[in-house]
């Protein structure tokens, strides 16, 4: 498969963003006429039956195809051009320090690293890379020793799994424009919102079974991790015996939610501390955490994170975004990933 993970293949004036997780399908259609005129034309979502997708891998292609078709048929989507978010569980993301040379020569170095130095959990990688922008230095500051190096972000995923998704899209007459990682779609959403991103920030996208945690600094991507945090409600199939009532109270939906929130707080603290002490060298502190996702009670989760973490936590919203379809059901945090994907538009 020759599809690029980070670059677009075809163009469309109106574009779809598609996110598929183990538990849900979400589709968002955006119409763009420059950054001053962006509109949500249609959006739809539906829960996905357990066992169709497992840990990002398609288990039953026919059922997934039928489920996606049902979502697409539920609204009058006007375009077939689609951008897709790779399930984070199957993605490898690595940052490399390489000589700051032109992309044609840099590509050869990345190919060498992929073949010889980067260990991966899969044998058939599709990969792509981008050169990350260098931090702005003070005019009076002498050039660092590594001034002739650049930071290169390499993204890889199993070709066979990506092809399974592409096959489904093409069977439904969709035209895959790009395949990218979720942090990039969220970062694009921040950019289009024109939020000031000076300093260090964290983007957190939470679904029922996992969370993507992404650190950005001065608006540039730095680090991302997918962590297993389950907000799935556990229900007992049989009554709990009287002498196990303590276990019953521990596994109530309310307690399960609180436990998951504490797990997420611990994961956020771990990643922020790693970045602060090992990569940032303690020079700056985190300014803000933006929360998105489709878990129930996202407002409550925001409050719990804000109480348990030092940086302020808020949901990523976009109140001025025009919505042509049912505005009452629209939620920027819930559709953040497919929205960020669709905003890619006609970008080359």
One of 3.40.50.2000, 3.30.420.40, 3.40.30.10, 3.40.50.2300 is the CATH number of 196-315, namely 3.30.420.40
The structure tokens listed for 120 are 């991966």
Q: Do residues 330 and 323 make contact, with C-beta atoms less than 8 angstroms apart?
A: yes
Phi, psi dihedrals of residue 131, rounded to the nearest 5°: -90, 120
**Position of tokens 């060498």?**
112
pLDDT in tens, 277-323: 988 877 889 999 999 999 989 999 999 999 999 999 999 999 889 99
- Indicate the pTM of the whole model: 0.88
Distance of alpha carbon 178 from alpha carbon 180, whole angstroms: 6
Distances (CA, A) of 96 to 7, 135, 159, 193, 330: 19, 16, 22, 29, 39
CA pair distance 335, 172, nearest whole angstrom: 22
Span 135-159, pLDDT tens digits: 765 555 555 566 789 999 999 999 9
What distance in Å separates the CA atoms of residue 48 and residue 294, rounded to the nearest whole number? 13
Q: Which of 11-25, 231-245, 267-281 has the lowest mean pLDDT?
A: 231-245
* Span(s) in the chain for CATH 3.30.420.40: 1-93+157-193+317-348, 196-315
Residue by residue, DSSP assigns 270-331 as HHHHHIIIIISTTSS-EEEEEEEE--TTHHHHHHHHHHHSSS-EEE---TT-EESS-TTT--
Assigned CATH topology for domain 1-93+157-193+317-348: Nucleotidyltransferase; domain 5 (3.30.420)
Question: pLDDT at position 30, please?
Answer: 95
């Amino acid at each position: 498969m020759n599809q690029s993970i980070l670059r677009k293949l075809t163009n469309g004036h109106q574009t779809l963003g598609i996110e598929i997780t183990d538990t849900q399908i979400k589709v968002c259609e955006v119409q763009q006429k420059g950054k001053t005129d962006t509109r949500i034309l249609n959006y739809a979502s539906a829960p996905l039956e357990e066992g169709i997708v497992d840990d990002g891998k398609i288990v039953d292609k026919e059922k997934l195809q039928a489920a996606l078709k049902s979502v697409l048929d539920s609204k009058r989507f006007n375009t077939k051009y689609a951008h897709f978010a790779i399930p984070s569980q199957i993605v490898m993301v690595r940052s490399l320090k390489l000589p700051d040379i032109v992309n044609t020569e840099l590509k050869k170095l990345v190919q060498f690293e992929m073949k010889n130095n980067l260990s991966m959990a899969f044998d058939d990688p599709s990969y792509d890379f981008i050169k990350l922008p260098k931090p702005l230095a003070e005019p009076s500051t002498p050039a660092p020793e590594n001034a002739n190096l650049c930071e290169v972000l390499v993204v890889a995923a199993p070709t066979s799994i990506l092809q399974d998704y592409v096959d489904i899209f093409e069977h439904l007459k969709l035209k895959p424009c790009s395949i990218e990682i979720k942090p990039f779609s969220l970062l694009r959403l921040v950019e289009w919102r024109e939020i000031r991103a000076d300093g260090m920030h964290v983007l957190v996208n939470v679904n029922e079974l996992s969370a993507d945690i992404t650190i950005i600094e001065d608006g540039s991507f730095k680090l991302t991790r997918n962590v297993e945090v389950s907000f799935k409600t556990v229900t007992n199939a049989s009554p709990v015996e009287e002498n196990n009532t303590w276990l019953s109270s521990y596994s109530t939906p309310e307690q399960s939610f609180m436990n998951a929130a504490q797990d997420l707080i611990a994961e956020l603290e771990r990643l922020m501390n790693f970045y602060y002490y090992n990569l940032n060298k303690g020079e700056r502190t985190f300014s803000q955490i933006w929360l998105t996702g489709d878990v129930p009670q996202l407002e409550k989760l925001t409050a719990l994170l804000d109480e348990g973490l030092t940086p302020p936590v808020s949901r990523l919203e976009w109140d001025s975004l025009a919505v042509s379809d049912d505005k009452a059901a629209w939620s920027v945090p819930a559709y953040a990933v497919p929205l960020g994907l669709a905003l890619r538009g006609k970008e080359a």
